[in-house]
Structure 1
Amino acid sequence: MAYYTDLELTNLGFRTLGSNVRISKNASLYNCERISIGNNVRIDDFCVLSAGHGGVEIGDNIHIAVYSSLIGAGKITISDYANISSKVAIYSSNDDYSGEFMTNPTINEEFTNVSHADVFIGKHVIIGCGSVVLPGVTIGEGAAIGSLSLVSKDCKPFFIYAGTPVRPLKERKKNILLLEDRFNSQKNEL
């Protein structure tokens, strides 16, 4: 995978840019001035980050795997240590499917009824391959979303969810919090 150099990343004009950021040259980045990226972030091939008015905020130690997309006018926040698996789609805007209005961005706003709402993904969240996250959703810290899930409602912290639409399956272990402390201690010792 060919990554942008540090200088190339700086020249893209991100709102903020941390260190050790690796973004594939095959990723598509729109409105970089509305995108903030923390430290130790990897964004793989064919990902799309299209920041609307609310922007996109990516924390530290984040992986966004191949073919994933973050799109919409609302703010999309991905907190530290989260993992976005391949082909995940996160939307902060959504067309009206009722038939009362026209759809798609080639149509003037007066004929559409697009809704916009912020999306928040907490620390240590993992979203499985092929999942879709809809506008207005909060996925609580430590929640796990199984592959091919539709996240249309908020998810409680430290629960495992799956399905279309998602439903809680069982609690998730919190050992990751202890591992986070150890990880940060080792990092600070260096």
Structure 2
Amino acid sequence: MSIYSQTELMALGFACVGKNVSISKKASLYGISRISIGDNVRIDDFCVLSAGEGGIEIGDYIHIAVYSSIIGAAKVILADYCNISSRVSIYSSNDDYSGEFMSNPMINEQYTNVTHAPVTINKHVIVGSGAVVLPGVTLAQGCVIGALSLVNRSAEAFGIYAGQPAKFIKSRKKNLLLIEKKMVNNLRSV
């Protein structure tokens, strides 16, 4: 994977870029001035980040895997330690599919009824391959979204969800919080 150097990243015009950031040169980045990236972030080949007015905030220790996309006018937040698996689609904007309105961005907005709502993906969330997250969804800390799920409602902390639409399956263990604390303490002592 050919990645941007730190100097190249700074020249692209991000709102901010942290340390140890690896972004593939094959990723597509739109609205760069509205994208903030923390430390220890990797964005793989063929990802699309298209930041609208609300922008995209990416925290620390995050991986966005190959072919994933984050698109929309409203704000999208990926908090620390998130894992966005391959082919995940996160939307903060969505057309009206009812037939009451026209759709697609080439139609004047007076003829469409696009929904715009923030998406928040909190700490330690895993979104499985091929999942779709729709506008207005909040994924609480530590929850997991199974592969190929459609997330049209918010998910509770440390729950495992799957399906179309995604439904609660069972609870997730919280041991990772102890590991996080240990890791942070070890980093401070270095």
Partner of 1:183: helix, strand, or coil?
helix
TM-score (norm. length: structure 1): 0.99
How far apart are the structure 1 equivalents of 2:99 and 2:167? 28
Unmatched segments (≥5 aa) in structure 1: none
Q: Which residue of 1 aligns with 2:26?
A: 26
Q: Which residue of 2 aligns with 1:46?
A: 46
1:164 partnered with 2:182: no
Deviations 1:98-151 (A, max 9, x none): 111111001111111101000000100000000000000000000001000000
TM-score (norm. length: structure 2): 0.99
Unmatched segments (≥5 aa) in structure 2: none
Partner of 1:120: helix, strand, or coil?
strand
How far apart are the structure 2 equivalents of 1:92 and 1:179? 32
How far apart are the structure 1 equivalents of 2:178 and 2:33? 35
How far apart are the structure 2 equivalents of 1:82 and 1:67? 16
What code does the residue aligned with 1:177 have? L
Q: Which residue of 1 aligns with 2:94?
A: 94
Q: Which residue of 1 aligns with 2:139?
A: 139
Q: Which residue of 2 aligns with 1:64?
A: 64
1:120 partnered with 2:120: yes
Residue identity over aligned pairs, in percent, reads 63
Partner of 1:155: helix, strand, or coil?
coil
**Residues paired across the two proteins, number:** 190
The list of structure 1 runs, each at least 4 consecutive aligned residues, that deviate by more than 4 angstroms after superposition, is none
CA-atom RMSD in angstroms: 0.5
How far apart are the structure 2 equivalents of 1:128 and 1:4? 26
How far apart are the structure 1 equivalents of 2:147 and 2:134? 15
What code does the residue aligned with 1:91 have? Y
Offset, 1:16:
1.1
